Amino acid sequence: MLEVLQAVNPIGFEHICKRLLREHGFEDVVVTQASHDGGIDGYGTLKLNPFVNIKVLFQCKRYKGTVPRAHIGDFRNAMIGRAEKGIIITTGTFSEDAKREASRDGAPPIELIDGKKLVELFEFVQLGVKPKTVFEVDYSFFEQYMSK
């Protein structure tokens, strides 16, 4: 699944992430223009309850490697004054420094979705995947029928 996502063009990956966010309950999800996006690939609204909506910005990184801490800081700077929450979605992984930066006290929180979690999110809503049943032999069932 990750290989397929990494093969999608960058704009296509942003639109796939938009669809994934919608499937997970986000509303009014928009992908920003490819140029002049100010480090923001898109935004949407997460409705927590009838009284509270949260504007969320997202950034998509089609990586095979590791997203460094600097990308988290740059994204946070782009978020300031625009949203309460951010999400960075990658097909790669995040460095330990990036993880610490994303949850730094006193700074707007950023959720980090790495490749492993991304695949789980696609599977959970069955987006772009088909369930497959695999049967294993239950050898204990057959023991009673084996000759001794």
The model's pLDDT over 32-48, given as tens digits with 9 standing for 90+, comes to 987 666 789 999 999 99
Q: Which of 61, 53, 56 is nearest to 16 (CA)?
A: 61
Judged by average pLDDT, the poorest of 57-61, 74-78, 106-110 is: 106-110
- What is the model's pLDDT at position 33? 82
Classify domain 2-143 at the CATH topology level: Trna Endonuclease; Chain: A, domain 1 (3.40.1350)
Give the pTM.
0.87
Domain boundaries, given as residue ranges, for the chain:
2-143
Angle at the Cα of 131 from the Cα atoms of 125 and 135, rounded to 5 degrees: 145
Q: Which of 143, 69, 137 is nearest to 99 (CA)?
A: 69
Long-range Cβ contact pairs of 16-22 (< 8 A, separation 24 or more) = 16/128, 17/41, 17/42, 17/58, 17/60, 17/89, 18/42, 18/44, 19/127, 20/89, 20/118, 20/121, 20/122, 20/125, 20/127, 21/58, 21/87
Q: What is the mean pLDDT of residues 118-147?
A: 93
